[in-house]
Structures are given as structure tokens and as C-alpha cells.
Amino acid sequence: MPIMIALLLSGFIGMFSETALNVALTQLTEDLNVSYATIQWLTTGYLLVLGILVPVSGLLLQRFTTRQLFIAALVFISSGTFIAAIAPTFIVLLVGRIIQAVGTALLIPLMFNTILVVIPPERRGSAMGLIGLVMMSAPAIGPTIAGLIVEHLSWNWIFWISLPFLLFALGFGIKYMQNVSEVSKPKIDVLSILLSTLGFGGIVFGFSSAGEGAGEAGGGWENPVVIVSLIVGVIALILFSWRQMKMEKPMINLRVFKFRMFTIGLLMVFLAMMIILSSLVLLPVYLQRGLVVSVLATGLIMLPGGLINGAMSLVTGRLFDRFGPKWLVPIGLVIAAASLWFFSSVTTASSIGFVIALHACLMIGISMVMMPAQTNGLNQLPPEYYPDGTAIMNTLQQVAGAIGTALAISLMNSGIISFDGDPTSPLFASEALTHGVSHVFRFGAIIALVGLVVSFFIKRVNVGHQKGEAQAERLPH
């Protein structure tokens, strides 16, 4: 249908520009004459905006129509992309990225909420699978195309290529987008927004900063800024949660946690995101600095796994509609844990084929976890809780990403420091880095095993057909 086409196309382009830019960060440090710690703010700033705005999306979904939010999201993403494309300095590029993130923070919850409203429960697995196909294809081809662009053109073309597609999606949406959700105009509670901003923003900023400064003197987890950010974030989140439970009409209705399968699904998605961010963020580092391959080669090596993940999303979507999550999720976690354990044995002599095969297996495992757990959890919620459920689900994915990345970089640096190889060897730096990366893969395997234990409690939700009713089991009050 036209609504889904507009959402999927804009989501694809948004994900493409995000992941493609990550591959070009090293080149950007040279072109913009900034340090690697500074250039990381293109990623940290993006995550920070998502961490702040996505929690507010539940409120926005109830105050504005589907059409209004879609047009606003595409205007922000297109404007940010244009500013980034013409950026002459790092500051201008950062501003463009932040504006892009504002649009993404509106678009992602809107996409999931629209599916919950317009797609019946018995077909949501296939619909979520289609989203997975589109959203995972972008990260798959993004690094490859970025490698070609960086090698033959300037990094600006990453954004110039995206802009026409975004403008087309905007025009398509203006013509065909329909309003599918009810507007209730809930009261805006300024204190809740402030506490949410300090809470989620503080935690994302704290973990992101810890990851960027890990291994540096006075940086990482010992940095006072990191410590203060995390403390402020935790305190603000506690106060935010307390306030929401006391309010008759909260900004985010935390009563969604009374639904057992939603809570378990949320935990599964959180762990899966930690696995993805803690493991796969450092895979390009291992390829480029451990196996010493080019940016383009890195993209090509990671391409098969990304494409397989996208294709598997369709398969798992249909399997979910037919069989539910009970067997899909545990089997996926076993595959992911085994892949990560074998990944922990990589060396500077490991073959490219070995890496491609393990990456493909890991992507298969993750695709069997993310969509089924997420869809099953959201299926249990009554329709009036859809905005709250999607806001919480997407917010904690950003938090999991920040935590996973920070822990991964810290573990890698710890492994590098503890490496006891021959310092005079010409391969010492590559071998030390590979030793550090193996620590991260081992950590990912442990997280997958924790998820496996949790997955034994998951069961298929039987969704009621009356509004406001869910026939599945709830947690005790």
C-alpha cells in the first residue's frame, strides 16, 4: 500500500546515509582536519538526539496526525542531508547530522506504530519482515557504496546521492500518505519531558563518551564527565518513572510492563542490539587494522551477511506468522552464540572466507531474534498502548546501542593492553588489536547465552480482537 511504500523508502534512505557515513569517518578526520575523538561526535550526536527525542515520540504520535509527522520527519531528514552535503566544516556537518537525527527520531516510531494500526496481528510478522528486509538492506549496501564514493569521489556525495530519493519519498508521501491513528491531544507535561531528556540523554551521552575516551589517560570510565552524566541520567530516569506512574495520563505509560511478553520481548531486543553494536561495530576495525584490507574491501566483505539478514527477515516474518516466536528465538540465539564464539578465535591470518561465513551465520541468528521477539511483544499490547510500546522499544534500542558500543571499545582496549606478544614484531599492532577484538566477540557470545536463557520463557501471544483487550497473560499488579 502507498503508506508503507512511503515509510519504507524514507526509512531505507535514512539508514543508508547513517551507516554509509560511519565507514567514511577515517577519511573525514583528514578532510576536515579534526581528531578521531572529535569526528565521533557525528555518531554520538546522532545517537544523543535519538535518545532524547524517541521517548517523546509516544506523546507526538497522540498529538499529531500520521501525515503531519511523516511530512515533518522527511523535511528534517532532507534538510539535514542537504546541509551535510554542502558542509565546508565539521560544525556544519554536525548540524546537518543532528537535523537528520530529529527526522529519524520521528520516522522510526511512526513506522512501527503505523504497522500496528493498519496490519492485523496475524499478518504483522510478514509486515515486520518486509521492514527488516528494507532496513537491513541499507546497512548492507551502505558500506560498499561508501567505499566506492570515498575511493573515487568526495564524502559529500554520500549525502548528494541520498537527497533525490528523500525528496521523492517526501513528494510521494504528500500525495498518498493517509491519517491512520487517532489524535487525542494529551496534555504536555514539561517536567516529564525535562526528566526524560536528562535521563535518556545522560545515559546515552555517558556511555558514548566512555566508549570514545576508552584507553586514553583520564578518559573512558574514569572521566568525571562520564561519571556525572551516568549518575544524572539514572537519577532522572528514576524520577521520570516515578512521575509517570503517579500521573493519570503519563507521557509514556509504563503500565506496558505489566504485559509479560512485551517485557520479555523488550529484553530480547535490548540484548540483540547489544550483540549487534558490541560485535559488528568492531568488525570493520578488525578487517581494516587486523587483516589490513581497504574500506571498499571491508564493505564487500560485510555485504553478503547484510543481504542475508535482509532476506532472512522476510523468511522469519512468515515463519513467525505461522509458528510464533517460541522456536525461532532460541534457535537464533544458539546460532548467534556459536558464530560469536568462533569469531573470538580470529587472528591476523584468518581467511576472508571464514569471516564472511561467520558474519552471515551471525546475521541469520540475529534476524531470527529481533523481529519475532519485537513483534510478539508489541502484539500483546492493547491498541491504546501502541504509541507507548513503540516509544519504549525504540528508545531502549538506542540505549542498548550506546551501552554495547561503549563496552565493546572498553573490552577491545583492555585486550590490546593485556596482549603479551613481541613488541618488536612488525605485526605487533595488528595482533594486539585482533586480541582485543576477540575479547569483544567472546563478550557477545556470553550476552547471546544470557538471551538464550530468557528466551525459554517466551510464548506466542493470542491477541484479542476487541479494542483495549489482550488475551495474553499479564504480569501481576
Answer for the pair 435, 413: CB distance below 8 angstroms, yes or no.
no
> At 202, is the pLDDT very low, low, confident or very high (cuts 50, 70, 90)?
confident
For 323-342, the pLDDT digits (tens) are 878 888 999 999 999 999 99
Residue 156: is its pLDDT beyond 70?
yes
> At 473, is the pLDDT very low, low, confident or very high (cuts 50, 70, 90)?
very low
Residue 474: is its pLDDT beyond 60?
no
DSSP-assigned states of every residue in 328-346? HHHHHHHHHHHHHHHHTT-
Q: Is the dihedral of CA 2, 113, 373, 276 positive or negative?
A: positive
> At 466, is the pLDDT very low, low, confident or very high (cuts 50, 70, 90)?
very low
Residue type, 127: A
Task: Give the chain's length.
Answer: 477
Give the pLDDT of residue 336.
Answer: 92
Please choose, from the candidates 460, 452, 413, 420, the residue with its C-alpha nearest in 3D space to the C-alpha of residue 436: 413
Distance separating alpha carbons of residues 242 and 177, to the nearest angstrom: 37
Q: What's the average model confidence in pLDDT over 234-246?
A: 87
Angle at 303 between CA 324 and CA 289, to 5 degrees: 120
Cell of 221: 570510565
What DSSP character marks residue 287?
I
Please choose, from the candidates 46, 57, 158, 133, the residue with its C-alpha nearest in 3D space to the C-alpha of residue 95: 46
> What angle do helix axes 124-152 and 157-176 make, rounded to 10 degrees?
150
Give the pLDDT of residue 149.
Answer: 78
Up-side HSE of residue 82: CA atoms within 13 Å toward CB? 10
User: Three-state SS for 184?
Assistant: coil
Distance separating alpha carbons of residues 277 and 283, to the nearest angstrom: 10
Please choose, from the candidates 301, 300, 312, 319, the residue with its C-alpha nearest in 3D space to the C-alpha of residue 336: 312
Distance separating alpha carbons of residues 381 and 342, to the nearest angstrom: 38
Residue 431: is its pLDDT beyond 70?
yes
Answer for the pair 180, 118: CB distance below 8 angstroms, yes or no.
yes
Q: What's the average model confidence in pLDDT over 437-455?
A: 90
Residue 60: is its pLDDT beyond 90?
no
Give the pLDDT of residue 124.
Answer: 66
Distance separating alpha carbons of residues 201 and 207, to the nearest angstrom: 10
Distance separating alpha carbons of residues 169 and 167, to the nearest angstrom: 5
Q: What's the average model confidence in pLDDT over 269-280?
A: 79
For 110-143, the pLDDT digits (tens) are 877 777 777 776 676 777 777 777 766 676 677 7
Q: What's the average model confidence in pLDDT over 314-329?
A: 83
Give the pLDDT of residue 477.
Answer: 43
Please choose, from the candidates 468, 472, 463, 470, the residue with its C-alpha nearest in 3D space to the C-alpha of residue 124: 463
Distance separating alpha carbons of residues 244 and 450, to the nearest angstrom: 30
Q: Give residue 253's Cα distance to chain centre.
A: 22
